[in-house]
């Protein structure tokens, strides 16, 4: 008899975005002619840029030539891509990285979910609340949490750092000692950012407590304001205590193409029960070489083209387009009397639901009355209850239409 990993039984029946898709499917089947506008899952809608597509075509042609064909690539990623990543995304910000500190992968979701494998099961970890559910669920699966407490809407043995209106949606340092901290900035779901000084308090905390920060910077390309750190490695001392996750998904429209990378500096250490230090970089390499055979050559060639002059220009145009949508949502909702956050340095707008309306109640109302799909804040954690997330990843026309419907159709 095969026994189940009982940690899986602690999880809610379905992943947040699967549940949203299920409700949408049901509504569509009951209302087949309905023109639904999707502003739920943060999935891009603009196609890949021409620079990227050309590079991918060329790489596919190479794969068909006897002399240019490539089999397994390096698990960590091709150097031609890693060198471009370092030169474009880090060197100009004063961050020095070596090639063996960058690990190319098929997604930041995969990496943020897998990285916890390197830590002991008794590791105490903290997450902001609300939070991208992958950090929580992957730790639940690994047995690092207790049971789900229905009443609290939280798992036992997770340190939650509430982000609410009172603290400006910025988490306070934990009041108990933690070993591992997940931070995502610009934030999914709230769209908020931390300043360099604010991020420094986290790096200092980690250095003083031998903790490690898993920093998700998947939305870095959407930062518009000066003084907002693009990388945690812009903060002094971060190389000792931080790992950073980056992605081409939202930056360059790769949600369906899949390419991302993770930075693990040589200095970051984890400790065994005898207090002996071990290199996290070496452990991640060990893990990846065992479980992963790298991203396909055409996809890495396409990702490298993001850094060409044309590629940079084209992705900037697309990001500007999405951020113009973010402004339409933000301003439109503010004019309609909603309290809104985010949308300035991120493609997410976090709004307070009217009165005492619950997040899922607002989801259903928005879907049924305005035919707009968003994401209930409660799906990101207990502190998300009473909030709702909209994404800027749609056409300008649909974004305007959605805001108009919210203003005029909601009773």
Residues that bind ligand MLT (CB under 6 A): 41-43, 109, 132, 188
The smaller minimum CB distance to ligand MLT, of residues 45 and 123, is found at 45
b (16+ CB within 10 A) / e for 150-174 = eeeebbeebbbbbbeeeeebbbeeb
Structure tokens at 140: 């639940």
The smaller minimum CB distance to ligand MLT, of residues 103 and 248, is found at 248
Instruction: Tell me the closest approach of the beta carbon of residue 187 to ligand MLT, in angstroms.
Output: 11
The smaller minimum CB distance to ligand MLT, of residues 21 and 41, is found at 41
Instruction: Tell me the closest approach of the beta carbon of residue 397 to ligand MLT, in angstroms.
Output: 21
| Own/partner pairs, 279-282, CB within 8 angstroms, 24+ separation | 280/118, 280/212, 280/243, 281/100, 281/101
Q: For residue 29, count CB atoms less than 10 angstroms from its CB and return exposed for 0-12, middle for 13-18, buried for 19 or more.
A: exposed
Instruction: Tell me the closest approach of the beta carbon of residue 380 to ligand MLT, in angstroms.
Output: 8
Instruction: Tell me the closest approach of the beta carbon of residue 408 to ligand MLT, in angstroms.
Output: 26
Instruction: Tell me the closest approach of the beta carbon of residue 212 to ligand MLT, in angstroms.
Output: 22
Instruction: Tell me the closest approach of the beta carbon of residue 188 to ligand MLT, in angstroms.
Output: 5
The smaller minimum CB distance to ligand MLT, of residues 116 and 281, is found at 116
The smaller minimum CB distance to ligand MLT, of residues 189 and 265, is found at 189
Q: Nearest-CB residue to ligand MLT? A: 42
As beta bridge partners, residue 268 has none
Residues 284/15, Cβ–Cβ less than 8 Å: no
Structure tokens at 88: 């474009």
The smaller minimum CB distance to ligand MLT, of residues 200 and 389, is found at 389
Instruction: Tell me the closest approach of the beta carbon of residue 42 to ligand MLT, in angstroms.
Output: 3
The smaller minimum CB distance to ligand MLT, of residues 101 and 137, is found at 137
Instruction: Tell me the closest approach of the beta carbon of residue 253 to ligand MLT, in angstroms.
Output: 13
Give the number of C-alpha atoms closer than 13 A to the C-alpha of residue 64, restricted to the C-beta side.
5
The smaller minimum CB distance to ligand MLT, of residues 38 and 200, is found at 38
Instruction: Tell me the closest approach of the beta carbon of residue 295 to ligand MLT, in angstroms.
Output: 17
The smaller minimum CB distance to ligand MLT, of residues 160 and 219, is found at 219
Instruction: Tell me the closest approach of the beta carbon of residue 394 to ligand MLT, in angstroms.
Output: 13
Instruction: Tell me the closest approach of the beta carbon of residue 348 to ligand MLT, in angstroms.
Output: 8
Residues 277/264, Cβ–Cβ less than 8 Å: no
Which of 105, 46, 47, 104 lies closest to 79, judged by CA? Answer: 104
Residues 240/207, Cβ–Cβ less than 8 Å: yes
Residues 106/295, Cβ–Cβ less than 8 Å: yes
The smaller minimum CB distance to ligand MLT, of residues 281 and 391, is found at 391
The smaller minimum CB distance to ligand MLT, of residues 62 and 385, is found at 385
């Amino acid at each position: 008899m095969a026994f189940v990993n009982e940690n899986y039984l602690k999880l809610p029946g379905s992943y947040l975005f699967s549940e949203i898709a299920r409700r949408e499917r049901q509504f569509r089947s009951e209302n087949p002619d309905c023109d639904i506008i999707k502003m739920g899952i943060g999935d891009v809608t603009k196609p890949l840029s021409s620079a990227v597509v050309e590079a991918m075509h060329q790489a596919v042609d190479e794969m068909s030539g006897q002399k240019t064909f490539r089999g397994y690539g390096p698990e960590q990623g091709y150097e031609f891509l890693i060198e471009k990543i370092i030169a474009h995304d880090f060197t100009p910000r004063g961050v020095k990285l070596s090639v063996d500190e960058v690990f190319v992968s098929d997604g930041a979701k995969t990496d943020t979910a897998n990285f916890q494998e390197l830590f002991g099961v008794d590791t105490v970890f903290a997450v902001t609340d609300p939070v991208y559910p992958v950090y929580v669920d992957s730790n639940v699966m690994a047995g690092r949490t207790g049971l789900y407490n229905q009443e609290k809407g939280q798992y036992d043995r997770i340190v939650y750092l509430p982000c609410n209106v009172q603290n400006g949606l910025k988490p306070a340092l934990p009041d108990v000692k933690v070993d591992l901290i997940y931070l995502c900035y610009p934030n999914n779901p709230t769209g908020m950012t931390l300043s360099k000084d604010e991020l420094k308090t986290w790096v200092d905390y980690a250095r003083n407590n031998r903790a490690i920060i898993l920093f998700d910077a998947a939305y870095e390309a959407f930062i518009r304001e000066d003084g907002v750190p693009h990388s945690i490695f812009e903060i002094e001392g971060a190389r000792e205590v931080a790992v950073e996750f980056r992605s081409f998904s939202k930056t360059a429209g790769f949600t369906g193409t899949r390419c991302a990378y993770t930075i693990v500096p040589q200095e970051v250490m984890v400790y065994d029960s005898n207090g002996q230090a071990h290199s996290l970089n070496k452990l991640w390499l060990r893990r990846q070489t065992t479980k992963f055979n790298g991203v396909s050559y055409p996809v890495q060639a396409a990702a490298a083209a993001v850094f060409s002059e044309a590629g940079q220009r084209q992705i900037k145009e697309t990001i500007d387009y999405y951020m113009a949508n973010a402004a339409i949502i933000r301003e439109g909702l503010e004019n309609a009397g909603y309290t809104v956050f985010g949308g300035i340095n991120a493609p997410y707008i976090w709004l307070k639901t009217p009165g005492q309306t619950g997040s899922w109640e607002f989801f259903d109302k928005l879907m049924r009355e305005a035919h707009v799909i968003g994401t209930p804040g409660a799906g990101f954690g207990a502190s998300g209850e009473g909030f709702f997330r909209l994404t800027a990843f749609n056409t300008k026309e649909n974004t305007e239409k959605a805001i108009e419907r919210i203003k005029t159709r909601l009773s």
